[in-house]
Amino acid sequence: MQLKNIQKLELPPTADMHVHLRQDGMMKLVTPTLSSGGVDTAFVMPNLVPPITTVERVVEYQSQLQALAPNVKFLMSLFLHPSVTPEVIAQAAAAGVAGVKMYPQGATTNSDNGVANLEAFYDTFAAMEKHNIVLNLHGEVLEALAPPGVTLEEAFLPTLKQLHERFPKLRIVLEHCTTAAAVEAVRACGPTVGATITAHHLYLTSHDACCNPFAFCKPIPKNPTDRDALIKAVVSGESKFFFGSDSAPHPLQSKTSAEQGKAPAGVFTQPYVTQLVLLALEEGIERGVIAETDVTQEKLEGFLSKFGRRFYGLPETSESKIVLERKGEKVSASVKTEDGSIEVGNSRADDVVFSLRWEAV
Ligand code: DOR
Ligand code: ZN
């Protein structure tokens, strides 16, 4: 496939295995944008205010999302917290909850109630292993705990290995991996361990994240070599690596009014997620990181759609498809509510992307 010269692509709907859809007005604004980005299956993060720690609340949240996007399959998660006991895990499994997300305390948006000591949760992990609930890791250590010169993600990787060794049947996802070292660490684990890769970490580096609030997120994008290792993992055809956008909307105001380096962490990609992955791959080809021949129909389908579904035990076929065509469409500046009270800036505003539409198979 010569991506650059391809005018029209047909793909199965994208499975986005890491999304932030928020609550209230923001939820109403961003949830419908899943379909413009080609997504029919979404794994939803629980870092709301307050975080989602009960089965009752997660079920309620799921029905709110379902009402806003009836054609999307929502995979739900709980926020790892002392109140998420082995009994709660059993209830969660019965309610069809797919995962439990671990946030290190204070590492990112709405994570003040996160985890300080993972060992305190070993009974919960054992229950998750038994009930086949996935452990989703925000794989970073706190700044104070990383040795000088070692990224927060790299400093976390030994913990990933230990958890996998202790709970070999527990399915674990290293979320939004950002370093070449993380890709290797995930490869070195058995088949129960996978990783999501975002769209934005395929095109941002620390250089962008330092100074542009719309490129600032956690984990911080790393250096060009890391970005390129992620691009290579995307086209490796290895089913351990699948798409999870970590699209994280914040009010435009909070991004533009923040002092340098103080903007809330999160890059909003949802309305164009599939298109942005394709754009990043094209740029990877242009830079010579990957070859034209590395991007095949099969690899795109695997990374964007099939591998994530496979990891979560979902069917890999669908009744609809997405059709992507080059029509000169540009990423819009933002999405906003009709009354303009909530507005979120899009990543890569003004860049030319494929136009996307849905068709029945
Ligand atoms: O950049 C990020 N934003 N990283 C996260 O881990 C959380 C997310 C958010 O919720 O805003
Ligand atoms: Zn996230």
In sequence order, what are the residues at sequence separation of 6 or more whose Cβ sits closer than 8 angstroms to the Cβ of residue 192?
164, 168, 169, 170, 171, 172
36-67 residue pLDDT tens: 999 999 999 999 999 999 999 999 999 999 99
CA distance 264 to 250: 7
| pLDDT for res 262 | 87
Residue type, 99: G
| pLDDT for res 20 | 98
148-175 residue pLDDT tens: 999 999 999 999 999 999 999 999 999 9
**Does residue 36 contact residue 72 with C-beta atoms inside 8 Å?**
no
Q: In 3D, which of 250, 267, 204 has the Cα closest to residue 230?
A: 204
| pLDDT for res 9 | 98
- Within the chain, which residues score under 50 in pLDDT? none
Whose atoms come closest to the Cα of 200: which ligand?
1
Q: Is the CB of 20 under 6 A from ligand 1?
A: yes
State the CB neighbour count (10 A cutoff) for residue 67.
Answer: 10
CA distance 301 to 268: 23
Atom of ligand 1 nearest to the CA of 138: 6
328 Cα: distance to centroid of ligand 1 (angstroms): 31
CA distance 294 to 332: 30
Q: Is the CB of 198 under 6 A from ligand 1?
A: no
| pLDDT for res 87 | 98
Q: Is the CB of 218 under 6 A from ligand 1?
A: yes
| pLDDT for res 189 | 98
Give the residue ranges of DSSP H helices in the chain. Answer: 24-30, 33-36, 55-68, 86-94, 122-131, 152-166, 180-188, 206-211, 224-234, 252-256, 273-286, 297-301, 307-311
Q: Is the CB of 266 under 6 A from ligand 1?
A: yes
Q: Is the CB of 138 under 6 A from ligand 1?
A: yes
Burial of 176 (0-12, 13-18, 19+ CB in 10 A): buried
